[in-house]
Structure 1
């Protein structure tokens, strides 16, 4: 279970967009009282602003696929940007401590392994096309040596992950005042990293329209936990 206080609520549409941009996650399950982990490229299928399924493939040599055949329940974790936030960036007199802001998305569901090589082949084709589409020039799938492909295909197994729960957590100190969030965002931008820039932009997106909303003392939130 992911600890996800209500104060970290953020639009689900942003979580879907981030998952489709990341396209890489960690599959976690349990088998015979042992945790299993696999880090995999993924297709994120969305329709009508709803997450339909995830798709990808395992190496057949990976025992995780056999464990999921026995117990298909799993969680897929997408790790988004994260960054340290220094307390020096808040407004003067703010008693808040330093923190670490981040985005993580948990997807719970059931793994359905491909029954045929044709199903696996279709998933591989979609993975290649989606990822190649972002490049200025694309590698042509049609030009790949058919004999080489036929030799490799039996060594992987595709899957569809049927989603039962989507649990995105955007920890962006949403309960802080707008002035504090603007100060923290400015500080983050001085770091010069992609993660810091993205966290700064996300924090600014939680500011009120008029930009002067006061913050809430964290102790008031902790008392409700």
Structure 2
């Protein structure tokens, strides 16, 4: 996380809303074989815990139950050229970006919780692509065979670290220049991030 507190998300609930919106994470943990990372679809349930599943063949799967892990969720970033500032000779390039790290202990969940997680995943992500698939559409034998190949997990957060860096540390003139430059090169999301954090 960026050390400057000015770049934090305004509140943890907003950071968790970002996590829920992205819905995908890099999950890091130590194993006897060294550090490992898994790439997981991630859901934030109403209690604030994270739920996800992994293939049982994943390098992390057999080590996760009871382990402390870090889920890192990031969005697109924008390179910022010093040429966009009023005084480029006294600045360095930087990046604007959004990311949230959630640290906590992981617990493996049982069969019923896995089914609930898969139902919730479909209910969450299918509407995003305009579809209506549900687990009920699967052949029961095939469904159960595929479910036996994965495990559901829950991560209970003990720490949340966030960065929502969008030129907050710049003067209004510099921030407007960055926003305009990003829009000019077609980085509409980057321009919108500056506008959002400034309340323009």
SS of equivalent residue, structure 2 residue 45: strand
Alignment of structure 1 residues 74-113 onto 2, 5 Å:
74-91=69-86, 95-113=90-108
How far apart in 2 are the matches of 1:136 and 1:108?
A: 32
- Name the CA distance, whole Å, in 2 between partners of 1:140 and 1:58: 19
Aligned to 2:67: 72
Q: Alpha-carbon deviation of 1:26?
A: 0.6
- Structure 1 residues 74-153: aligned runs within 5 Å: 74-91=69-86, 95-114=90-109, 116-153=110-147
Q: Residue in 2 aligned with 1:9?
A: 8
**Equivalent residue number for residue 220 of structure 1:** none
Residue number in structure 1 paired with 2:165: 171
Q: TM-score, normalised by structure 1?
A: 0.81
Gapped runs of 5+ residues in structure 2? none
Equivalent pair of 1:178/1:208 in contact (CA under 8 Å): no
Aligned to 2:180: 186
| Contact 2:118/2:135, CA 8 A, preserved across alignment | no
**3-state DSSP of counterpart to 2:158:** strand
- Is this contact kept in 1: 2:73–2:100, CA < 8 A? yes
Q: Deviation of residue 140 (structure 1)?
A: 3.7
Contact kept in structure 2, 1:56 and 1:124, CA below 8 Å: no
How far apart in 2 are the matches of 1:3 and 1:33?
29
Distance 2:88 2:49 in 1: 47
- The answer to whether the 8 Å contact 2:26/2:37 transfers is yes
* Number of residue pairs the alignment of both structures matches: 199
Q: Report the Cα distance in structure 2 between the residues aligned to 1:113 and 1:172, rounded to whole angstroms.
A: 37
* Partner in structure 2 of residue 32 of structure 1: 32
Cα distance in 2 for partners of 1:75, 1:169 equals 15
TM-score (norm 2): 0.90
CA deviation after TM superposition for structure 1 residue 204, in Å:
2.1
Distance 2:64 2:131 in 1: 37
Structure 2 residue 200 is matched with structure 1 residue 205: no
Distance 1:82 1:110 in 2: 29
Unaligned runs of 5+ in 1: 210-225
CA contact (8 A) 2:82 2:88 kept: no
**Within 2, Cα distance between the matches of 1:105 and 1:46?**
18
